[in-house]
Structure 1
Amino acid sequence: MTKGRLLKRLMVFLALLAAIAVALAAWLILDARKTPTGIPQYVALGSSYAAGAGLGPRQPGSPRLCQRSDAGYPPRLARKLGLSLVDMTCSGSVTAHVLVGGQFYQEAQIRTLRSGTRLVTLTAGGNDVGFVRDLYLMSTANSDTALGWAVRKLWGGPPPPAERDFGKLQRTLTALLREIRRRSPRARIVVATYPAVLPPTGTCPQLRLSASQADVMRQVQAGLAAVTRMVGKKKGAIVVDMTAIGADHSACSATPWTKGWGTISQSPFHPNREGAKATAGAIVAALGRI
C-alpha cells in the first residue's frame, strides 16, 4: 500500500472520529437539557444526595448523568404530600449549578420555579467542599485494589477542613435562597442537610478510613451542616437537619441511612433507601409543625 493511500485512510479515520465526537457532544448537550414537563407545585433542587443516586432505576426522561432516581426523597415526598413534582436534582452539582447552571451543559436548576410553586426542597453543598469526593478517594487509597494503588500514587491527599471554602458556600447558598424566594414568593422552602455518613466518634470497617481520616472528614461533615443550618435559618427556610437527626444512623450503625465504601457504580457514602425514606418523613414532620 502506498504512502498516499495510507494517508488518505488515516484522514478518513480521523474525520470519522471527529464526527463521532461531535455527535456524542451534541447528544450529551441535548440529554443534559431535558427538563421535566410536570406542573411545578413542588420543585426539588440539589445534588446526588437529593437525586437518589444509586437507589434504583433512573427517572424516565431525566438526564442520564444526573442519576435522578424514583427512589430518592423528592418522589417519596411528592407522593406523601400529593403534589406534582418537578425534580431538577443532579448528581455532582454544586450550589452555583443550582443557581446559574453550567453542569453538563445544563441551565440553572431553578429555571422551573414559578410564582405558584408551593414547595421547594434543597439539599446541596457537599460538592462545594469536596465531602463525598474526599471520602471516596481516602477510602479507595486505603483499599488493596489497582485503583487504590493509582490513587495513592497520584493523589496528594485531602485539604484540611480550614482550607475548604465554607465562606464561598455560605455566599452562594445565601444568593440561591434569595433567588428561590424571589421566583416563588409563596412557596415553603425546605433546606435539608446531608444525612450523617460518619459516626459521632471513631471509625468502622464500612468506611475504610483510619481514625485520623474519619476525624478530618467529621469536621467537614459538621462544617457543611453548620453553614447550611445557619444560612437556611437566616433566609427564613425550614431547616431539616438530617445530619443531627441521622446521627445514630451513620454508615457505621446497625441501622444505617447512608452507605459506606464501595465502587463508583454503588454510589458510596450516599443515602441508602432508608435514608431517603427518613429524609422524606422528616420533611413531612417539619411541614406539619408549621
Structure 2
Amino acid sequence: MVMVGIGPGPGGAAPASAAGSLTMVALGDSSAAGPLVGTQNSLDCLRSSSNWPAVAARALGAQLTDVTCSGATTADLTGKRFGYIAPQLDAVTADTDIVTVAIGANDINMGGTVVGCTQPLPEPYGVSCKSWMTAGGDTTDSQLAAVRPKIVDAVNRIHAKAPGASVHLVGYLRYWDETGCYPTDPIWAVDAEWLQSIFDRTNAMIRQAAAESGATYIDIATPSTGHGVCAPYASKWVEGLVPTSVAAPYHPNQSGMDAAGAVVASAIGG
C-alpha cells in the first residue's frame, strides 16, 4: 500500500547488511519497505534502510537482502515491477536461511480505498465511503480469496528455491481502534471501522495462506493495538492522512518499524 523517498539509485535490492552467517531475504510492499522513513535506499521502491526487515535482521544477526518495494503486489514477486525492477523472488537463493513476505493489500487496492474514505465534511454531511463502495455488496472477501492462492504459490516457489529456509508471512499493523478520531484523521467512525475490518480480513487471509503453504504467520496487528492512526504522538506507530512524524500517509513510522521489527525478530528467533 502506498500513496505517495529519496534514494541514491533506482530499484533493485538494498545492499546486503553486514552480519553473521545467517542470510535473510525480505520481500513485500510498502508496509515493509517504509516509504519516507529514515534514509531511503531506493528511489523507485521508496525503501527505508531502517524498516522492520532491517530492524529484525539486526536483532537476529542476519545478513539482509531487502527487495521490498512500495506499491508491490503479488505479481511483483514473480514479474518485473515497472518493467525493469527484477522479480522479488530472484533474491531468494539456495543458501537463504530466512525469508519474510509482507504482501497482499495492494492486490485489493487497499491504498486507494483508504484515500477514497477521507472525508472533509463531518457527519451527516457528505457520504460514507462504506456506503458507496459496498453499494453492490462488499466484495472484499472474494477479492482476498483470489489473492490467497497467489501467496501460497509464492511460498511454494520459495520452498523450491531455498529448501532449507524458514518462510514467514507477516501481516499488517492495526490502523484504527473502535471509532476512529474524526476530524483529527478525516475518516468517519463507520468508515474507520469498515477499513480496519478489511485489514483484519487481509491478515486472516495471510494467516490461512501460511497454514496452507507451510510458512509461519507473524501477527504484528495485535501488539500494535492502541498504537494506530489515532494514538497520541508519543505512542503512534502508524500515521494518518497528515503525518505527525516522517512517514508516508497511512503507513508505519519509525516507531512502528522498530516495534514490528522486534516482533518479527522474536517470532523468528523464538
- The secondary structure found in structure 2 opposite 1:66 is coil
Report the AA paired with residue 261 of structure 1: L
Partners in 1 of 2:158 and 2:169 — Cα distance? 12
Equivalent residue number for residue 42 of structure 1: 24
Equivalent residue number for residue 135 of structure 1: 114
State the 1:104 CA deviation: 5.1
Q: Does 1:162 align with 2:138?
A: yes
Equivalent residue number for residue 6 of structure 2: none
Give deviations 1:124-159, integer Å, cap 9, x for gaps: 1111112222212322x4279xxxxxxx9xxx9645
Give deviations 1:153-191, integer Å, cap 9, x for gaps: xxx964578323111111111111111111111111111
Q: 1:138·1:157 contact (CA, 8 Å) conserved in 2?
A: no
Unmatched segments (≥5 aa) in structure 2: 1-8
- The secondary structure found in structure 2 opposite 1:84 is strand
Give deviations 1:239-281, integer Å, cap 9, x for gaps: 1111222122221123221111127x94111111111111111
Q: Of 231, 237, 250, which residue of structure 1 is paired with 2:228?
A: 250
Partners in 1 of 2:202 and 2:13 — Cα distance? 29
Equivalent residue number for residue 204 of structure 1: 181
State the 1:37 CA deviation: 5.6
Specify which structure has the bigger relative contact order, considering alpha-carbon pairs within 8 angstroms and separated by 6 or more residues. 2
Equivalent residue number for residue 260 of structure 1: 240
**Residues 219 and 108 (structure 1 numbering): CA distance in 2 closer, same or farther, change over 3 Å?**
same
Partners in 2 of 1:243 and 1:268 — Cα distance? 18
Equivalent residue number for residue 203 of structure 2: 225
Per residue, is there more helix in 1 or in 2? Answer: 1
Unmatched segments (≥5 aa) in structure 1: 1-29, 145-151
Q: 1:38·1:86 contact (CA, 8 Å) conserved in 2?
A: yes
Report the AA paired with residue 69 of structure 2: C
Q: Does 1:74 align with 2:53?
A: yes
**Residues 37 and 246 (structure 1 numbering): CA distance in 2 closer, same or farther, change over 3 Å?**
closer
Partners in 2 of 1:159 and 1:107 — Cα distance? 36
TM-score by length of structure 1 reads 0.76
Q: 1:93·1:103 contact (CA, 8 Å) conserved in 2?
A: no
Partners in 2 of 1:245 and 1:103 — Cα distance? 34
Q: Does 1:190 align with 2:168?
A: yes
Report the AA paired with residue 132 of structure 1: G
CA RMSD of aligned residues (A): 2.5
Q: Does 1:52 align with 2:28?
A: no
Partners in 2 of 1:278 and 1:163 — Cα distance? 32
Q: 2:16·2:66 contact (CA, 8 Å) conserved in 1?
A: no
Equivalent residue number for residue 286 of structure 1: 267
Partners in 2 of 1:188 and 1:284 — Cα distance? 13
Report the AA paired with residue 37 of structure 2: L
Q: 2:57·2:265 contact (CA, 8 Å) conserved in 1?
A: no
Q: 2:247·2:253 contact (CA, 8 Å) conserved in 1?
A: no
Of the two, which has the highest radius of gyration? 1
Q: 2:173·2:221 contact (CA, 8 Å) conserved in 1?
A: yes
State the 1:73 CA deviation: 0.7
Q: 2:227·2:237 contact (CA, 8 Å) conserved in 1?
A: yes
Report the AA paired with residue 239 of structure 2: K
Matches within 5 A, 1:76-155: 76-103=55-82, 105-139=84-118, 141-142=119-120
